Structure 1
Amino acid sequence: MSNESSPGRRPVRVGALAAALTAALALLCCTGGAGAFFLTELGGEAAELIDPVSMECTGDFEVDVTGKMPRFSDYGEPQMRNAAVIIKVGQEMKVPPRGWVVAVATAMQESRLLNLANRTVAESQDIPNEGVGADHDSVGLFQQRASWGTVRQRMDPEYASRKFYEKLVDVPDWEKLPLTVAAQRVQISAFPDAYAKHEELASRIVDALAGGAARTALIAGEQVCDAAASGDIAASGWTAPIPGGVGSGFRTASRPAHNGVDIAAPKGTVLRVAATGRVIVSRCDPDRRGRLSCDVDGWPGKGGCGWFVDVLHAQGIITRYCHLASRPLVSVGDTVQAGDQIGVVGSSGQSSGPHLHYEVHVDSDRSSRGAIDPVPFMKSKGAPLKGAG
C-alpha cells in the first residue's frame, strides 16, 4: 500500500490555482457548459457542507410539508417549507430523488427558496408573497416567466414545482447530466453555470426533509441507500471511485501523514471520477530521486504518487487518485462527469501492491492542509467506501 500521502512535494497556492483555473475556464465562457462554474463563490457555504450528514438513510422519503422544519445556514422555516413542497411534488410525480436535488438547487439560485413576486404583483397586494424579485415578469420559487402560466399559477409553489419537473424529465438523460446543465436546460438562464454551487447544500436539505434520499442511487429500478459505486450515481451526484475495501486509513497513529485512504483492488480495475468536475492535474509524480518512472510497478520507500489525477469539483472540493497503472485517460482542462472512467488501478509510485490511494481536499487546497477524511465524507454522499465504518 502507499507510504506517501501526497504527490510531488510541490504545494500549490490556492491563489495560483484559482488564477490558473480562471484562465482555463475563460476558454469556455461562451459555451454555456459545465466547465465554467467551479470558481463561482468557492468557499462560502463550504465550511458547513463538508460536515458529514448525521441522518441515516432510512428509505422513508415521505415529506411532511406542515411539520417543524430544520434550519440550514441562512435558510429558515419558510424556505425549508418551500423546499419540502418542491420535494413533495417530485415524489407525487415519481421523479427520482436526483430530480429533487436539481429542483431545490435551482430554486436556491433563482429565489433563495422564497416565493418572490415582481414589483407589480407586490404593490397590488393581491397575491401573497415572500419578497420582491426582479422587475420583469419572472415570479415564484423558480422565477418563471409569463410563458409558464398566469401570475397566480406561477406564485403557487406546487404549480411552479410541477412545471419545473415536467420540463426536467423531458431533457434527454437528465439524470446523468451535471446539475448545472440539467437545470439550465429547463431554466434557460442568463447565468447558466450558477446552479452548481448549490448542489451540496441542496443534497443536505433533501436528506433532512426526505429521510436521506440524496444518499440513494437508482439500481435495478430501485432507490438503494448508500450503494453508489461501479458507475451508479447517488442523488447527491457522487459515486465511489472503485468498489474495493479500505485498508490503510486516514492519518492513523502508525501513519499520521497519510492524507487519504488506500482502497484495495486488482490491477486493471476501472477507476471512475467520484463527481462531476474539472481535471486540474494529470501526470506522473516524481519519486524521491526526482525520476519519472511511473510505467513500472513501484515499491515501499520509492516515493511519489505514481500516475495520478486531481479533479476540482463545485464548492472547492478536490479529489485525488494515485498509483494508476498507466497514463490517465484524462488531461488537464477536461470536464468529467460523475462515473466517467479516468484510468485503471495499478501500483505505480510508492506502493507495495495494486490499490487506489484516494484523497478528498476542501477549500481548493491541494496541500495536506486541505485534506479531510474521505470515509465520512463519501458516506455522507451515499457513496461509502467499502470496508469503512
Structure 2
Amino acid sequence: MAAGKGGIGILAVVLVPVLVVMLSMWVLFFGGDSASACTVGSGTQINVDGIAADAAVGAYTHDQLVNAALIANAAVTLGLPAAAQTIGVQAAIGESTLRNLDYGDGAINPDGSVADSIGLFQQQSFWGSVAERMDPTSSASLFFARLPGVAGWESMDPSLTINAVQGNADPNYYTQFRADAVAIMTFLTGGSPAGAGGGGCAVSGDAKALAVNLVAAMGAGKLVLAEDRYAAEIRGVADGSASSICGIDVRILQVITIALNNFGQVGVSDLNRQCTGSIEGAGTESAHWINGGGHAVDFYSLNGHGLTGCDTDSMKLLSILDPLVPAGSRAGQAQCRTATYSHITQFQDTTNHLHFDVGFTDGPVANP
C-alpha cells in the first residue's frame, strides 16, 4: 500500500503479527465497530457481466463496480464468508477508489526507498509481481490470503482488520469508506440497504445493554459527546446509577446505536436536559425535558462533518430511521428540508445540529 495513506512500507511484513495482537487487545477492551455487524454480502459469486454499462452507486460507476465485484468474487473463491467481500471492497476504496491504478503516490518507506505501490490495493513489490498486483482478481486474492491470519477478524472493527492486513499507520483510516462499501455490496448482491437491521443489524431493546455498548463506543472514539455531563447520562444507564430524572429513553439509545451502525463516528450534543437542569429552546415542553427527560437526541456531527439538519449526512440518517421509528417521531430543522417522511413529523429548529425525538409517541423502534 502507499505510505501516503499511512503506510509503513516494507516493515509491514514484519510488524503485521505485532499489529494483530495489539488490535485484538483494542477490540477486547473497546469492542468492534458496530458497523461490522452491518455487512452486506452474498457469499456467492456475483455476475460481473450483469452489471449494466450505466450502473452507478453514488460516485462509483461501471468500471469501479466491476472491480468491486471481482474483489468480492475472489473472497468467495478462497472460501471466505460474506463479511470478507465487504471488507475487501472497503479496503480497495480506501486505497484506489476502486480504480486499477498503475502508479502509487511516490511516498517514502521507512527504509528510505520509494514505495512502488500499484493496483486496486496499492500493493508494493513484496506482495507479488506487477502482473499479480495489476490484476483485480489476483490482487484481491493476495489481500484475502492474509485475512485469515488476523486473529478474530470477523468480530473486529473492519478498519482495524484492513489495517492489520495492509499494514498502514492509521488503524482508523478505512472507517470513512465503510458506508460506501456497504452501499456497493448492497447494489451488487441485491441485499437490504445498510442500516439498523439491514444486513443482520438487529438493535437490542435492552437499555442497559445498549448503554454499555455506547460507553464502549465512547471509549473507542466512535461516539463523541460534546459535554461530559451527557456522557455521564449514558454511563449512568450503563451502570444502573441513573436517577429517575437522568435516564435515557431506550428508543433514543436505539437511535444512537443505529447512527453508529451507519457512520464511522457520531457526535451528540444534547440528551436529558432535566438531568442537567438546562432550560433552553422549548424549555420544559421539550422532549429533552418532559416525562423525566431523555426522549430526544441532538446530533452535531456524523463522520466528523458538522450537521445542519439538511446536509447529506442528516438526510441519510433520517431516511434510515424513518421506516424503523414509530409514527409521531419528530425531527427538527424542517425549514431547510423539502423531504417528507412516513413516520417522522418535522418542526423548525436551529440549523446547527439534527434534532430527533420520540417524546410524543409511545410506539417502539422496529427491527426488520
Instruction: Report the TM-score, using the length of structure 2 for normalisation.
Output: 0.52
User: In structure 1, what is the Cα distance between the partners aligned to 2:290 and 2:322?
Assistant: 26
Q: Following TM superposition, by how much is the alpha carbon of 1:165 offset from its aligned partner in structure 2, in angstroms? A: 1.2
AA in 1 matched with 2:135: D
Shift of residue 160 of structure 1? 0.9
Change over 3 Å in CA distance of 1:89–1:380 after alignment to 2: farther
Contact conserved, 1:114 with 1:140, CA < 8 A, in 2? Answer: yes
1:143 aligns with 2:82: no
Q: CA deviation at 1:206?
A: 0.9
Q: Which residue of the other structure, out of 85, 89, 94, is the alignment partner of 1:104? A: 89
State the secondary structure of the residue aligned to 2:138: helix
Q: Give the match for residue 289 of structure 2.
A: 350
DSSP-derived class of the 2:48 partner: coil
Aligned: 1:66 with 2:55: no
Among 122, 134, 137, the alignment partner of 1:155 is 134
**Aligned equivalents of 1:174 and 1:374: distance in 2?**
27
Is 1:71–1:77's contact at 8 Å kept on the other side of the alignment? yes
1:209 Cα deviation from its structure 2 partner: 0.7
Q: List aligned pairs for 1:260-271, cutoff 5 A.
A: 268=208, 270-271=210-211
Q: Could you tell me which amino acid in structure 2 is paired with residue 152 of structure 1? A: A
Letter in 2 for 1:68: I
Report matched runs for 1:151-230 at 5 Å. 151-190=130-169, 192-212=171-191, 215=194, 226-229=199-202
Q: In the alignment, is residue 377 of structure 1 matched against residue 320 of structure 2? A: yes
Q: 1:91 to 1:379 in 2, by over 3 A?
A: farther
Looking at structure 2, the residues matched to 296 and 95 of structure 1 have their Cα atoms a distance apart, in angstroms, of: 47
Q: Aligned Cα RMSD in Å?
A: 4.9
Q: Deviations over 1:20-65 (max 9, x none)?
A: xxxxxxxxxxx9999xxxxxxxxxxxxxxxxxxxxxx896964111
CA distance in 2, matches of 1:193, 1:269: 25
Higher relative contact order (CA 8 A, sep 6+): 1
Partner Cα distance (1:170, 1:216) in 2: 29
Contact 2:41 2:82 in 1 (8 A): no
Distance (whole Å) between structure 2 residues aligned to residue 153 and residue 379 of structure 1: 45
Aligned to 1:365: 306
> 1:89 touches 1:162 (CA, 8 Å); kept in 2?
yes
Would you say the 8 A contact 2:41–2:85 is kept in 1?
no
TM-score of the two chains, using structure 1 as the length reference: 0.49
AA paired with 1:85? Answer: L
Counterpart in 2 of 1:75?
Answer: 60
Is the 1:319–1:358 contact (alpha carbons within 8 Å) kept by the matching residues of 2?
A: yes
Gaps of 5+ in 2: 1-18, 24-39, 107-113, 231-240, 247-251, 277-286, 325-363
Equivalent position to 2:229, from 284, 287, 291: 284
Change over 3 Å in CA distance of 1:388–1:175 after alignment to 2: closer
Amino acid at match of 2:137: E
Q: Corresponding residue for 1:122?
A: none
Paired AA for residue 205 in structure 1 = I
Q: How many Å apart are 1:379 and its aligned residue?
A: 8.2
Kept in 2, the 8 Å contact 1:85–1:157? The answer is yes
Work out the CA distance in 1 between the residues paired with 2:42 and 2:295.
31
Cα distance in 2 for residues equivalent to 1:225 and 1:368: 23
- Give the match for residue 90 of structure 1: 75
CA contact (8 A) 2:118 2:133 kept: yes
Secondary structure (helix, strand or coil) at the match of 2:222 reads: strand
CA deviation string 1:287-317 (max 9, x = no partner):
xxxxxxx953139xxxxx9xxx999895664
Q: Give the equivalent residue in structure 2 for 1:318.
A: 267
- C-alpha contact (below 8 Å) 2:75/2:141 kept by paired residues: yes
Distance 1:105 1:228 in 2: 18
* Whole-Å separation in 2 of the counterparts to 1:172 and 1:366: 37
CA distance in 1, matches of 2:127, 2:194: 32
- The count of residues paired between Structure 1 and Structure 2 equals 248
Name the CA shift for 1:59/1:278 in 2 (closer, same or farther; >3 Å). closer
Q: Which runs of 5+ in 1 are unaligned?
A: 1-30, 35-56, 119-131, 218-223, 230-239, 245-264, 286-293, 300-304, 328-347
Distance 1:356 1:269 in 2: 18
Alignment pair present for 1:114 and 2:114: no
Larger strand fraction of residues: 1
Identity rate, percent:
22
Distance 1:197 1:354, change over 3 A: same
Which structure carries more helix by proportion? 2
